[in-house]
Chain A
Amino acid sequence: MELLSGGEMIARAMEDEGVEFIFGYPGGAVLHIYDALFKSCKVPHILVRHEQAATHAADGYARATGKPGVVLVTSGPGATNAITGIATAYMDSIPMVVLSGQVMSHLIGEDAFQETDMLGISRPIVKHSFQVSRTEDIPEIIKKAFYIASSGRPGPVVIDLPKDLTNPHDKFEYNYPKKVKLRSYTPAARGHSGQIKKAASLLLGAKRPVIYAGGGVVQGNASEQLRVLARELNFPVTHTLMGLGAYPASDRQFLGMLGMHGFYEANNAMHHSDVILAVGARFDDRVTNTCAKFCPGAKIVHIDIDPAAISKTIAADVPIVGPVDSVLTDLLAVIREMRQADSSLPDASSLKHWWSQIDEWRDAHGLWVKPRYDISTPYIKPQQVIETLCKVTHGKAYVSSDVGQHQMFAAQYYKFDEPRRWLNSGGLGTMGFGLPAAMGAKLAFPDADVACVTGEGSIQMNIQELSTCAQYNIPVKIISLYNGYLGMVKQWQDMQYEGRYSESVYENSLPDFVKLTEAYGHVGIKVTQLSDLEEAMKEAFARKNDLVFMDIHVDPHEHVYPMHIAPNGSMRDMWLSKTERT
């Protein structure tokens, strides 16, 4: 039997767990662990420049791969800096294990140097957390943390590690468990067969159905099952911001994103539907608009692994708790059986009327039918940048985004055909997410194109990571839409505050991003003319081994449309341009 110290146990457990990268930052309370990593650990460690970036990079890695991201930070400020990234992962149900250092056991509660109550601070934003009280428990706790983080509805798990328990001189038996069982935690393995039958009859009787699929389909690896079911039924599919890519954007049955900045045809299909099949989605306020006016004629089938997500804001008529992949598989089997048993049941062609209605909506205002933005201005339009990005990368890149107008443009105009390509902070809406998330994805898939769509506001929230990219040669492409404003804030101020730009203007304070990028040893390209855009972007992506920062100057006054009319609007109430509304 092997004897290891607490620090060595952590290093070894990372290997045994198959961890590919540790994103972290050292400090006093974790020095024993860092020494163990240095001496023996085969798992590479990525030294970020700020702990927030460690969590976002681990998060980006997790979103792109489906495997839990791993973070190691010290106590006190190291732990608190990680909080935003933990909250981001929690809101979007991303698997993550965060190891945070803690002051020595006997100092806990004494306001020791760099002490903070990490368990207390992180409690509302973690799926679970552990404080280690005995070194010999470390292997089992780590195993449990990975199991909890990645099973059921995934989420971040924090392990708080008092420094004395990682002391190199105190060695204990190390045995990494192959499996753990928790008596108080058993995520549903299958959906209820009776409920699935009910859902099947409802779906087969639908005249105006729509599938509303969210991030749960991506996190639950159920894209394939969703595609097969949707095609079998000939149902239209719309995605939440988090679901993009689960159903192929280039497929005729895809209606685009729904919700606040959703497509006209998607929001209308929802509003006028008679049956909604909600899969791994949570009816959040950015989707529903006013709950009381939500889809008045629709019966709702809601599939989710988390019972608490069901009937939280909108009541489900047929709730099904279970993993989306297995429920969709079972649902498809039941539908096929029912159709075989009863040939009088309507087939795919029965939705002809519904589809012609949807196509009418699509032709009228669909964003992909023709440009709906004003091309008469001298500026590059932000939409054109994303269209060009999609073209140059053949719709196959991993695209992370920050938060704001550029995020919505990316969601609307980049056509994701595959899941896990779109990495964005949907729930928490965290500016500063994009660059570190792109780093995580690029490390996982070094041969793939990885782009970070951002703005000059968001990028400055974690711009220090350009240095990390230099150290580890992480050649992501930064597509920064420069408009000199906090664009989304400005849009709201235009629409609701009579254009009073309270603290949303940068004036002449912005750095020369090309020079700044060059100072970090990377390549910067500034684009101000539409005619240069495509060539410049091609050049950026042709530089396989360079991080390229594209500083693209776009129309400073552009707004994101459609946009839900709120408050008191329904799904179908939208602004379509600055002057036109439904």
Chain B
Amino acid sequence: MMRHIISVLMENEPGALSRVVGLFSQRGYNIETLNVAPTEDPTLSRLTLTTIGDDHKIEQITKHLNRLIDVVKLVDLSEGSHIERELMLVKVRATGAQRAEIKRCTDIFRGQIVDVGPSVYTIQVTGAADKLDSFLEAVGEAAIMEVVRSGVSGIARGEKVLSL
């Protein structure tokens, strides 16, 4: 069982997203994270999802995704060398001595404090999913008030592109 990042180029049409999401629930596949937005070509959307499964299941997932008429192309980024990023916004309780501690921790993770209140910081961290997990661990559950994650985005390294 491995985690896979599947990146899908699809028609930017109403209903296209629901076909992808529907496929996963209909066939009992799991979606761990999902994000979708238009590309530089407004007729196309790029959808990235992460899922967990053995080779057989991932093969089925990619085949069934390809079968959807709205899906133009797709790639399993995990098959090759790739860059993975996720953006996270975390609201933490920051009072007294903790304010400095959280600031230091944010710096270590190359995060940014994007909003400051008398007793709260809102921190933005980007990176691979496991880095974001580590940041949350470092800050500690007690301080965390709210976590918002974008879901994984990814792109292949080098010359390889997913385009028309």
B35-83 interface (Cβ within 8 A of A) = 56, 59-60, 63-64, 66-67, 69-72
Q: Which among B22, B56, B59, B63 has the greatest number of chain A C-beta atoms within 10 A? A: B63
B164 A183 Cβ-Cβ under 8 A: yes
| In contact, B22 and A131 (Cβ under 8 angstroms) | no
Are A148 and B19 in touch, CB under 8 angstroms? no
Query: Complex formed: what's the CA distance from A311 to B19 in Å?
Result: 23
Min Cβ gap B27→A in Å is 9
Minimum-distance CB pairs A-B, first 3:
A308-B63, A184-B72, A128-B69
The distance in angstroms between the C-alpha atoms of A148 and B67, with both chains bound, is: 12
The reply on A530 being an interface residue by CB < 8 A is no
Contacts of B164 in A (CB 8 A): 183
Q: Are A124 and B22 touching (Cβ within 8 A)?
A: yes
B46 CB, nearest partner CB in chain A, Å: 14
24 residue pairs bridging A and B, Cβ less than 8 Å apart: A120-B18, A123-B18, A123-B22, A124-B22, A124-B26, A127-B69, A128-B69, A131-B14, A131-B15, A148-B69, A182-B69, A183-B72, A184-B10, A184-B11, A184-B69, A184-B71, A184-B72, A185-B69, A306-B67, A307-B67, A308-B60, A308-B66, A311-B59, A312-B60
Bound together, the chains give a CA A86 to CA B63 distance in angstroms of 22
* Chain B neighbourhood of A129, CB < 8 A: 15
Interface residues on A, range: 10 to 19
Are B67 and A308 interface neighbours, CB within 8 A?
yes
Q: Which one of B15, B18, B64, B69 contacts A308 once the chains associate, using CB atoms below 8 Å?
A: B64
B104 CB to closest chain A CB (Å) equals 49
Q: Which of chain A's residues have a CB closer than 8 A to the CB of B19?
A: 123
In the assembled complex, A119 has its CB within 8 A of some CB on chain B? yes
User: Which residues in chain A, 120-172, are within 8 Å of chain B measured between CB atoms?
Assistant: 120, 123-124, 127-129, 131, 133, 148
Q: In the complex, which residues of chain B have a beta carbon less than 8 angstroms from the beta carbon of A124?
A: 22, 26
Indicate with 1 or 0, residue by residue over A181-197, a CB within 8 angstroms of chain B CB atoms.
01111000000000000
In the complex, are the beta carbons of B63 and A307 less than 8 A apart? yes
- Min CB–CB distance B71 → chain A (angstroms): 6
A166 to B91, CA, bound (A): 52
Q: Is the CB of A184 within 8 A of B67?
A: no
Residues of A near B66 (CB, < 8 A) are: 307-308
What does DSSP make chain B's interface, helix, strand, loop or mixed? helix
Within 8 A of B (CB), among A88-128: 119-120, 123-124, 127-128
B114-152 interface code vs A (CB 8 A; 1 in, 0 out): 000000000000000000000000000000000000000
The complex places the Cα of A554 from the Cα of B56 at a distance, in Å, of 47
A275 to B104, CA, bound (A): 66
Chain B residues in 8 Å Cβ range of A311: 56, 59
Binary flags per residue of A421-444, CB closer than 8 Å to B gives 1, else 0: 000000000000000000000000
Q: How far is the CA of A128 from the CA of B72 in the complex (A)?
A: 14
CB-CB under 8 A from A312, the residues of chain B are 60
> How near does chain B come to A125, taking the closest CB pair, in angstroms?
9
CB-CB < 8 A to B69: which residues of A? Answer: 127-128, 148, 182, 184-185
Q: Specify which chain A residues have a CB less than 8 angstroms from the CB of B14 in the assembled complex.
A: 131, 133
From A131, A184, A308, give the contact of B70 (CB < 8 A).
A184
Among residues of B, the one whose C-beta sits closest to the C-beta of A125 is B26
Interface residues in B74-97 (C-beta closer than 8 Å to A): none
Taken together as a complex, chains A and B put the C-alpha atoms of A312 and B22 apart, in Å, by 19
What is the CA–CA distance of A283 and B26 in the complex, to the nearest angstrom? 20
Hey, which chain B residues are within 8 Å of A128, CB to CB?
69
Instruction: Output the least CB separation between A307 and chain B (Å).
Output: 5
With contact pairs A127-B69, A182-B69 given, residues A119 and B10 touching in the complex (Cβ less than 8 Å): no
Instruction: A185-B69, A308-B63, A311-B56 are known; give 4 further A-B pairs, CB within 8 A.
Output: A131-B15, A183-B164, A184-B11, A311-B59
Q: Which residue of B lies closest to A160 (CB)?
A: B15
Query: Which chain B residue has the least Cβ–Cβ distance from A184?
Result: B72
Q: How far is the CB of B38 from chain A (nearest CB, A)?
A: 16
Which residues in A have their C-beta under 8 angstroms from that of B70?
184
Most chain-A Cβ atoms within 10 A of its Cβ — which of B56, B64, B66, B67?
B67
User: A119 to B15, Cβ gap below 8 A?
Assistant: yes
CB-based nearest B residue for A152: B67
CB distance from B15 to the nearest CB of A (A): 6
Complexed CA–CA distance, A123 and B60 (Å): 19
Closest beta carbon of chain B to A297's beta carbon, Å: 22
Q: Which residues of A contact B59 (CB under 8 A)?
A: 311
Considering the chains assembled together, what is the distance between the CA atoms of A133 and B69 in angstroms? 18
| Chain B contacts for A148, CB-based, 8 A | 69
CB neighbours of A306 from chain B (8 A): 67
B54 to chain A, nearest CB (A): 13
How many angstroms between the C-alpha atoms of A306 and B22 in the bound complex?
20
| A17–B11 alpha-carbon span in the complex (Å) | 26
B66: min CB distance to chain A, Å: 7
CA distance in complex: A128, B68 (Å): 8
Q: Measured between alpha carbons, how far is A120 from B71 in the docked complex, in Å?
A: 18
The chain A residue sitting closest to B43, CB to CB, is A183
- By a CB distance below 8 angstroms, the chain B residues around A133 are 14
A123 CB contacts on chain B under 8 angstroms: 15, 18-19, 22
How far, in whole Å, are A78 and B100 apart by their CA atoms in the complex?
A: 65
Q: Which residues of A contact B67 (CB under 8 A)?
A: 306-308
Q: Which residues of A have CB within 8 Å of B15?
A: 119, 123, 129, 131
Bound Cα distance from A182 to B70, whole angstroms: 9
Q: With A and B bound together, what is the CA distance between A184 and B68 in angstroms?
A: 9
Nearest-Cβ distance from residue A235 to partner chain B, whole angstroms: 28
CA distance A127 to B64 in the complex (A): 11
Chain B residue with the shortest CB-CB distance to A157: B69
Q: Which residues of A contact B18 (CB under 8 A)?
A: 120, 123
Residue of A nearest to B64 (CB): A308
Q: Could you say which residues of chain B place their CB within 8 Å of the CB of A120?
A: 18
Q: Once bound together, how far apart are the Cα atoms of A187 and B71, in whole Å?
A: 13
- State how many angstroms separate the Cβ of A254 from the closest Cβ of chain B: 32
A residues 289-325 in Cβ contact with B at 8 Å: 306-308, 311-312
* Cβ-closest chain A residue relative to B14: A131
B residues near A119, Cβ cutoff 8 Å: 15
A177 to B: closest C-beta gap in Å? 17
Residues of A within 8 Å of B60, CB to CB, are 308, 312
B62 to chain A, nearest CB (A): 9
**Distance in angstroms between the alpha carbons of A133 and B164 in the assembled complex:** 25
**CA separation between A148 and B69, bound complex, in Å?**
9
User: A529: shortest Cβ distance to chain B, in Å?
Assistant: 50
> From residue A137, how far is it (CB to closest CB) to chain B in Å?
12
Roughly how many angstroms separate A311 CA and B57 CA in the complex, as a whole number?
11
A52 and B26 alpha carbons, distance in the complex (Å): 23
Which residue from chain A places its CB closest to the CB of B9 in the assembled complex? Answer: A184
Q: How far is the CB of A526 from chain B (nearest CB, A)?
A: 45
Docked complex Cα distance between A307 and B71 (Å): 15
